[in-house]
Amino acid sequence: MLKFPKGFLWGAATSAPQSEGHATSNGKTPTTWDKWYELDPTKFTKNQGPENTSNMYDMYREDAKLMPQVGMNSFRTSISWARLLPDGQTVNPEAVAFYRSYFEELHKNKVKPIINLFHFDMPWWLMEKGGWEARESVEAFAFYAKTAFELFGDLVEMWTTFNEPIVHVECGYLYGYHYPAIHDFKKAIQVGYNTIMAHTMAVKNFREMKAKGQIGIILNVSPCYSRGETEGDKLAAKQADLLNTKSFLDPAVLGQFPQELVDLLKENELLPTTQQGDKEAVSTNTVDFIGLNYYQPRRVQEPVQKLVGKATDPSDFYAPYVWPDRKMNVYRGWEIYPEALYDVAMMMKNDYDNMPWFVSENGMGVAEEERFLDDETGMIQDDYRIEFMKEHLEQLHKGIEAGSQCFGYQTWTFVDCWSWLNGYTNRYGFYRVELDNNYKRTMKKSGLWFKELSETNRLKI
């Protein structure tokens, strides 16, 4: 039996655009996802768009009751910016009523809300002004954050500004998976920088308002493992780490950008445009805690071709490496490597002043999960998911024993949900959702297992 610290948070995470539905009603204006779908639904797996997702907008009261039934004492979701501020300035009263009632239901069911402000859902009104490329987005986000703190501060003790900000940088400006789907390394760096400044200004507002509770950010990190010990491979891992991990973690926790990253960007003429006072704002507005999403490690090797001239893509610094001995989640095509969670715990302890942190997403996506439905119990028998969580929790526990200050573990996700261009392909929930049967929720076997884990605060091994 592995015992977890007293008061440990057990829960699950989702986001507004992936769970609420009512994407274009009740006063909400479109996001880039809604517009992109309108422009080209064929981009989305099986043409499944963001309109309905898991219908939590209508079902949150019942859903809040389902949470403790799988042992959740905490739940992360996000506020939809375009729902709260449909034109960027005017507060939508329906959104206020909805979120207040939603968060109250969570409290009634003894589920602690962790509320995030941005989960890839850029309002269309801001995208039309340049989105994260434009400095205007920093002020717009700071205003949105302040509005949310004022409206819901009495119901929320734990706030986060962004979920996985590197994803909208990479997917929108390098790899084509998010709108505007362009390839421009310099713009990507500017988008990343403006995002960090938006985060910083939101934290600044939080501090100046003397808002109650704590504020953090959610990052998807994994140690960057190099193929081997050659100088080229080691340099690739270091540069991947600078660009993907330290770029956000250092300013958020340590209040400064890593000098080696600044030098690398300078050498390649990629430095972003900054404003006077930015550096000081970053240094004085660090976070209270960090949320880390972990699914699979990043493995790299030196690029196949030596860089000639200036870099135009991250692949000029590092290339992906496929470890031949890897264990796979064959249902999603992602590597399973629980040991990284111990390494992450040690990284937080040793490199980030032992800042308190929690696992804000971890989980196992499974395509066509209905194949594991057991007719007798009516439950999906997701023993593979139980095994996945168990292995990761063992490593996490080892990290906690070694002194890392991890205070919670949230899986992705509560009920099966919509996932961007992937639609509903990969199922992750404690509850199965039947899209063609009024979004009916049915607990999976992992829900029962998680309940026991949470109630005993102990992992059976």
Smallest distance, ligand BGP to C-beta of residue 60, A: 19
In the complex with ligand BGP, the residue whose CB is nearer, 23 or 211, is 23
3-state helix/strand/coil string of the chain: CEECCCCCEEEEECCHHHHCCCCCCCCCCCEHHHHHHHHCHHHCHHHCCCCCCCCHHHHHHHHHHHHHHCCCCEEEEECCHHHHCCCCCCCCHHHHHHHHHHHHHHHHCCCEEEEEEECCCCEHHHHCCCHHHCCHHHHHHHHHHHHHHHHHCCCCCEEEEEECHHHHHHHHHCCCCCCCCCCCHHHHHHHHHHHHHHHHHHHHHHHHCCCCCEEEEEEECCCEEECCCCHHHHHHHHHHHHHHHHHHHHHHHHCCCCHHHHHHHHHCCCCCCCCCCHHHHHHHCCCCEEEEECCCCEEEECCCCCCCCCCCCHHHCCEECCCCCCEEECCCCEEECCHHHHHHHHHHHHHCCCCCEEEEECCCCEECHHHHECCCCCCECCHHHHHHHHHHHHHHHHHHHCCCCEEEEEECCCECCCCHHHCCCEECCCEEEECCCCCEEEECHHHHHHHHHHHHCEECC
- In the complex, minimum distance from the CB of residue 248 to ligand BGP, in angstroms, rounded to a whole number: 14
Footprint of ligand BGP (CB under 6 A): 15, 18, 163-164, 220, 293, 332, 361, 365, 412, 419, 422, 426
The minimum distance between CB 195 and ligand BGP, in angstroms, equals 15
The active-site residue, picked from 20, 170, 361, 369, is: 361
Mark whether 229 is an active-site residue.
Answer: no
In the bound state with ligand BGP, the residue whose beta carbon lies nearer, of 198 and 459, is 198
Q: In angstroms, give the least distance from the CB of 428 to ligand BGP.
A: 6
Long-range contacts of 86-91 (CB under 8 A, 24+ apart): 86/27, 86/28, 86/29, 86/123, 86/125, 87/29, 87/125, 88/123, 88/125, 88/126, 88/140, 88/143, 88/144, 89/143, 91/147, 91/151
Residue (47 or 456) nearer to ligand BGP, CB:
47
- Residue (37 or 257) nearer to ligand BGP, CB: 37
Chain residue whose CB lies nearest ligand BGP: 419
Q: How far is the CB of 170 from ligand BGP (least distance, A)?
A: 11
Active-site choice (164, 170, 302, 335): 164
361 has catalytic annotation? yes
Write down the least CB distance from residue 274 to ligand BGP, Å.
Answer: 28
Helix 93-108 × helix 136-152 angle, to 10°: 50
- Decide whether 4 or 420 has the Cβ nearer to ligand BGP: 420
Least distance from ligand BGP to the Cβ atom of residue 422, Å: 5
Residue listed under structure tokens 């960007």? 265
Nearer to ligand BGP (CB atom), residue 53 or residue 200: 53
Least spacing, CB of residue 461 vs ligand BGP, in Å? 26
Q: Which is nearer to ligand BGP, 315 or 422 (CB)?
A: 422
Select 18 or 190, whichever has its Cβ closest to ligand BGP. Answer: 18
Catalytic residues: 164, 361
